[in-house]
Structure 1
Amino acid sequence: MSHTIRDRKQLLTRVRRIRGQAEAIERALEQGSECTAILQQIAAIRGAVNGLMTQVLEGHMREHLGDVDATPAQREQDLEQVLGVLRSYLK
């Protein structure tokens, strides 16, 4: 079973929390809230997205790169996929 299926409930909870935070920023902007409150909410979203990325990435690495039955070619392909995602994420 894939780690994203196994951890679906927890991952969806994180995504829903992020959606709620984004909606809060939208409301704050519409209401003309103080910029410091908006900046704090943006920082909170960034932390939440980082947490989501960490959880999915860790599950992927454990499941795919830690697979003892994988061939060296499969491991290399999985590693390249992970590195590609990390490069784009860290830009």
Structure 2
Amino acid sequence: MHTIKEKTRLIARVRRIKGQAEALERALEQELGCADVLMLVASMRGAVNGLTAEVMEDHIRHHIVDPDKENSSQAQGAAELIEVLRTYIK
């Protein structure tokens, strides 16, 4: 499974998200202002979206077709889908 190959990197990303969630929790406990809380939420959302995009891209490359290894209309479609995901999910 491709997530196992990328296990260390994915876990590192999850741990960063966990740290961001803990920072958000502290901010709420300390009753920080809305702008500060919203910035923390936005950074968490960006981190989760980045993780989602990475797992989806790996899924496409490993279970559908890897556009770096094939030259077909399916590979071109996969490359386009990956690019759209990167743009849309950010």
Q: Aligned residue for 2:20?
A: 21
Q: Aligned residue for 1:43?
A: 42
Cα RMSD (Å): 1.5
Q: Aligned residue for 1:12?
A: 11
Q: TM-score, normalised by structure 1?
A: 0.70
Q: Aligned residue for 1:65?
A: 64
Correspondence 1:65-84 to 2 at 5 A: 65-66=64-65
The sequence identity of aligned pairs, in percent, is: 54
Detail structure 1 runs of 4+ shifted over 6 Å in the superposition: none
Q: Aligned residue for 1:82?
A: none
> How far did 1:5 drift?
0.6
SS in 1 for 2:32: coil
Q: Aligned residue for 2:70?
A: none
1:10-45 deviation digits (Å, cap 9, x = unpaired): 100110111110111111010111111110000000
Q: Aligned residue for 2:2?
A: 3
Counterpart-to-counterpart distance in 2, 1:29 and 1:11: 27
> How far did 1:52 drift?
0.2
Counterpart-to-counterpart distance in 1, 2:2 and 2:43: 25
SS in 2 for 1:33: coil
Q: Which runs of 5+ in 1 are unaligned?
A: 68-89
Aligned length: 67
